[in-house]
Structure 1
């Protein structure tokens, strides 16, 4: 199937933006999309006219425009699960004074479907953004997915780049396999200081009425709260919420 080169290059430019790098220069975008600066500039101008990209004249940096949000509102993947889970996320966040996350597995990574902060949070931080993907080697929610996905999916996930976000991040595929087996056996996953130093989280799987894995539920907060044994706090609340969400869900 032939591809339209201009469209393919435009998509490459859009994919150059990430949650960690939301504002980029022309040179940075050209490098990310593997384009020369002239081609990148012309394509960015077209994307600006379409409302998908904006340009800050003062800093010279580009950033995604409101048009991307309008497109995102039409995305159906995960919408039903997100709508079902929302009241449980709100309740969890407020009961635990932590941040509640809803994750789902997508092509070897964890996709953040929703995030809810407590009305009176115990900590203020730059939390992982909704709509972004994360590798499965860090964080309670992603690690819960790694433990409960099928074996072949786990092998696919472990072939991805596994960044060492902090000194506590695990990157050895064999070590992660062993941890996934333990997490699957105990029914939950814990990430201590492996996503952000000082923050930790616990995650549990969500199974639908057909007993199929549809996502993971997690809460995150200060490591001093979560780094306890033999079990982390809020585990019962998480399991109850995950069960309630699953009962109301049916895989597509």
Structure 2
């Protein structure tokens, strides 16, 4: 068993083994990404480290349960509608998403940027909602709802990092911190200082750290009890978000975050 497997097994109660067939099926589901929504049998087998026969049998079982679908013409697999049904029962971020939805639309329309809603989960930022601005000249891979982001890049994720407690922040900075662009910060000590700065400032402007030419602005959302509920952010061309090196729509973001928080009961 590799080190990753050892680490996951250590999280189980003593004497409780990982169910290998289920673990492999989940690995197949996780192989699909927004940028790779369709994959062939050979690629799936390669990604999860299984032979084609085992991979095919697992996929057929997943297909029987409407969790994956197969396209006969292209001979590729994709995630299926059964996962949407399962996802509708996920409670993480549900109250925040239900409250914040209209405000995300308002912010996207007002700023001309894509708006995002984030929550913290296990040292990463989970995108629980987004409203994409209609800007055909912006061509970038945006975080989809359900995607998780490390906390070193992006306005929203970096705001999340800033408002975590010490133990949570250490956990986040111990995870992989990818360098997505030349401006991406990956040094944990530097990121700790940056988090302190963001917390003191109350917002974050993240330029060129995810894609060159794009800038994000994030602000925290607090519930009525003052606890961090998540983060609200926008992202678009720097000329739209921060034309003079300062966030052009900070007041609108902070106002929306305050109105969202005023409707959130303490956890």
Q: TM-score, normalised by structure 2?
A: 0.88
Which deviates the most, 156-165 or 225-234? 225-234
Q: Which of residues 141, 152, 162 in structure 2 aligns to 1:147?
A: 162
Name the residue aligned to 1:240. Answer: 255
Question: 2: distance between equivalents of 1:93 and 1:191?
Answer: 18
Name the residue aligned to 1:196. Answer: 211
1:127-172: CA deviation from partner (whole Å, max 9, x where unpaired): 2111111111111101110111112111111111111112221112
1:38-76: CA deviation from partner (whole Å, max 9, x where unpaired): 211110111111111122333332211111112112212
1:94-145: CA deviation from partner (whole Å, max 9, x where unpaired): 1111111100001111100110124x54854342111111111111101110
- Shift of residue 230, structure 1, vs aligned partner: 6.5
Question: 2: distance between equivalents of 1:234 and 1:53?
Answer: 41
Name the residue aligned to 2:11. Answer: none
- Shift of residue 31, structure 1, vs aligned partner: 3.0
- Shift of residue 227, structure 1, vs aligned partner: 3.9
Question: 2: distance between equivalents of 1:232 and 1:114?
Answer: 22
In structure 2, stretches of 5+ residues that fail to align are 1-15
> Does the 8 A contact of 1:108 with 1:160 survive in 2?
yes
Name the residue aligned to 1:20. Answer: 35
> Does the 8 A contact of 1:97 with 1:122 survive in 2?
no
Name the residue aligned to 1:173. Answer: 188
SS of match in other structure, 1:20: coil
| Change in 2 beyond 3 A, CA 1:201/1:115 | same
**In the TM superposition, what are the counterparts of 1:34-53 in structure 2 within 5 Å?**
34-53=49-68
Question: 2: distance between equivalents of 1:114 and 1:193?
Answer: 22
SS of match in other structure, 2:50: coil
In structure 1, stretches of 5+ residues that fail to align are none
SS of match in other structure, 2:145: coil
Question: 1: distance between equivalents of 2:263 and 2:136?
Answer: 30
1:101 has 2:116 as partner: yes
**In the TM superposition, what are the counterparts of 1:86-235 in structure 2 within 5 Å?**
86-118=101-133, 120-121=134-135, 123-125=137-139, 126-228=141-243, 231-235=246-250
Which deviates the most, 208-217 or 52-61? 52-61
Question: 2: distance between equivalents of 1:192 and 1:122?
Answer: 20
> Does the 8 A contact of 1:143 with 1:190 survive in 2?
no
Q: TM-score, normalised by structure 1?
A: 0.93
Question: 1: distance between equivalents of 2:125 and 2:234?
Answer: 15
> Does the 8 A contact of 1:23 with 1:61 survive in 2?
yes
| Change in 2 beyond 3 A, CA 1:194/1:69 | same
- Shift of residue 88, structure 1, vs aligned partner: 0.9
> Does the 8 A contact of 2:70 with 2:78 survive in 1?
yes
Question: 2: distance between equivalents of 1:184 and 1:239?
Answer: 14
